[in-house]
Structure 1
Amino acid sequence: MLNRFAVQRVDLVVGFVNAVIVVGWTLVAWSLKMRDTEGLNEPLAWLMMAITVVVLFWRSSYPLTVTLVTLACTLVYYPGSSTDGPMLLAFVIALYTLAALGHICAAGIIAGLTFVVIVVSEVIAGFTHMTASETFMLGGWVIAVPAIGAVVANFRRYRAETTVALAETQKRSVAEERLRIARELHDAVGHHLSLINVQTAAALRKLKRDPKFRTEETLQVIADTSQSSLRELRAMVGVLREPGEASPTGPGPSLEQLPALVDAARASGLDVDLRVDGSAVLPVAVDASAYRVVQESLTNVLRHAKAKRVQIKVVTGTSTLAVAVLDDGLADAKGAKAAGNGLTGMRERAESLGGTFNAGPRDDGGFSVEATWPLEVDK
């Protein structure tokens, strides 16, 4: 709406300036008796000038109509008037507007016909009003006007497309960032909460069987896990702070933290076997993604698989990093294949960095999660 009002204001200014120039110039020339040949119909010529001045105020609302009206009035005015005023200005403005608003074909056709009319009429009149060079120069300007308008129209189209593309890019970036944060919350905080839930449930069962059961060790594990969860949550909140504000810093998720992750899983009663083969300096994104896949796989085992033993394999080759998490639980346990268990997030983590991901029941029972990443990724 504001843009429409701005266009209307520009049309008012242009129309007013055109009216001052055309009417003022013509009146001055008339009063000073600056006349060419005798006009065929002076009253009709003045009427044509008035119509041209008025219709130009609607040049943006009705560009084609205004262009045709100003052209017709101009063609009638010059033979009818003895005063050679700047009547052509309104038609030039209307023709430019027609092309600048995207009606390039129509503007080109009208300009071509106008060029023919100007040249043919002067040839028939024996170049009594203008010399041959002036005639072709005027015709050339008429042709140039829609060309200039076409350049402006193309620039406006490019600017509009660029604006739309930038808006789409920003929306996509926001969506990707929201997805990334959701994955981080699910994989990191969700894992710690799952460990706390498992430890608490186990302690409650033991207390029911033996009221004298000492819970100090279990509570210590829960406290340590809660502290880890809070650290990761603070780190994520810090990333969301406004630029310039202090945010907590610390090491990001890495395969170097697997021993601590395994110890926490073992404290929950799970028998975890960690095997690491090979070593290399990993890209930060790959290192973090591999750790999160292992972490989420352990979370799924604790929550759904009812497994007793888990084997984690990390193999670093010359060009590829591979991880595998194998358990002996119930592959068809409730939630093992549900959309909310993190399999989608793990697949996205692997494939977004050019890797592969496979997960499913094992032939000999249990469930397996396997993922690979190239050691060279786009930064």
Structure 2
Amino acid sequence: MRRDLPYALGGLALGGLLLGNAALAPDARPIRALDVALVLVMVAALAVCRRFPVPALVVVTAAMLAVHFRLHPGPAAAFPVLGTVYLAAWRGHRAAAALASLVFLGCFLFRDFAVAPADQPAQQVAERTSLLLGWFVAANVAGLVARQRRAYLEQVEQRAVEAERTREEMALRRAGEERLRIARDLHDSLTHSISVIKVQAGIAVHLARKQGKEPSATLLAIQEASGAAMRELRATLGVLRSASDVDPVGLAGVDGLAERTRAAGVPVQLTVTGQRELPAEVDQAGYRVVQEALTNVARHAGPATARVDIEYAPERLTVCVTDDGRASPSRPVTPGVGLRGMRERVTGLGGTLHTAARDGGGFAVRATFPLDGPS
């Protein structure tokens, strides 16, 4: 209804102009209730012309012809008809707009020539005829031009949408091709190397047991870690070869991760507070934070003990990994690829990551992930 308001206000303004012009004309006739009713009918038709252009055009044309025959307000009676003719042509009703123009012009001129030929000089009638003809031609042409312009803009917009969709499809296809290339490279190089490590470790364990000796903890840790690496690598290759980025590893696998780290010679204490269902991406990112932090402990902390604290809260997940290794505030840690990747994972999910050396020695990694609320 708000979109119809400008048309209704415009109709009221035209109606006022029409009645005022008729009242101030030299040969003015008294304005009666029927004349006001015809003007109000015109206003009502203009108010709905946006939704019903052809019926409004018919009603406005008939009402203005009736007003013209009764009051003879001059060219002012054509203004509402011109507006509806333009709107009808703009909405694609060219035949109706042209027919209404011809009917109004014919009846208007018939009244001028047949009813009061003596009151108006022939030159004045000819000038008014030319003026009205030009107005109606202009209204029809303007409506057609506006419609063609709108169609052109819609076509341009559609082409832009199609071009954007094509670019997105090309980007997805190139990304898929790149994923497949990376998967092939990983399979041909890294998979082979890890397989060799796993096989050699298995052979060493088998030979030690065959000779009646118990394999060392380090050798068993190498065998278990290589097996876990193979499983994760296969899962990663599966992700790269598919359209999904879902990683099957989550915080449920932290127990196994802690066991493998203990087997590698790093004591790990694991504490889990609370429990709740997590979004897949948060679950995966939390696991990766623990994995990367424990890997850094094994590589850089020296003889150390690690502690993993996982806290499930209604509004957040907190993952904290600390150690009592050789890091200290006096020797700042230079962030490597692992820490940068960890930070990208956490901040990409709207979380925060704090990594720093501890005052009493060792290093601390604390990641906080926001959650939607209780599950």
* TM-score w.r.t. length of structure 1: 0.49
Task: Name which one, 1 or 2, has greater alpha-carbon Rg.
Answer: 2
